[in-house]
Amino acid sequence: MENCLFCKIIAGEIPSTKVYEDDEILAFKDINPMAPVHVLIIPKNHIDGADMLNAENSAVVSKIFTVAAQLAGELKLENGFRIVTNVGEDGGQTVRHLHFHLLGGKKLNTALA
Ligand code: AMP
Ligand code: ZN
């Protein structure tokens, strides 16, 4: 997808600090971390956001959560963590490529909105 920041990261046109990669999924450190561990997990296939998931493209979400659980172990988040996806303007989505924030390494603020 042209002019998509995360597609450019996937293509290697913009640098990132990768923590996991396979054929379908990339995980890399957020450039502006909100917690000691703040990783973004994204599908390599461009999907605008969670509002664009459907029966044809949503299997990757299950794989992303499996990768998240694996990363949580590797990153020593045994005390807990949070997975967040923002959707659209009201949801605070600034990059319109589906991504899941994996946050942890401290006691996270409980406010959801
Ligand atoms: P959201 O606001 O939910 O769309 O999340 C977008 C996230 O992408 C933010 O947490 C940003 O800090 C992060 N971000 C933006 N540009 C980059 C980049 N070049 N490398 C890593 N993370 C980025
Ligand atoms: Zn994209």
Name the nearest CA neighbour of 44 among 8, 2, 92: 8
| Residue 113: predicted pLDDT | 80
Type of residue numbered 20: Y
Name the nearest CA neighbour of 40 among 59, 54, 24, 26: 26
CA 40–ligand 1 middle distance (angstroms)? 8
User: Does residue 2 surpass a pLDDT of 90?
Assistant: no
C-alpha 60/C-alpha 53 separation (Å) is 10
The predicted model scores a pTM of: 0.98
Beta bridge mates, 28: 18, 40
Which residues have a catalytic role annotated?
99
User: Does residue 1 surpass a pLDDT of 80?
Assistant: no
User: Token pair for residue 10?
Assistant: 């996937």
- Could you report the per-residue pLDDT of 73-105, keeping only the tens digit for each? 999 999 999 999 999 999 999 999 999 999 999
- Ligand nearest the Cα of residue 48 is 2
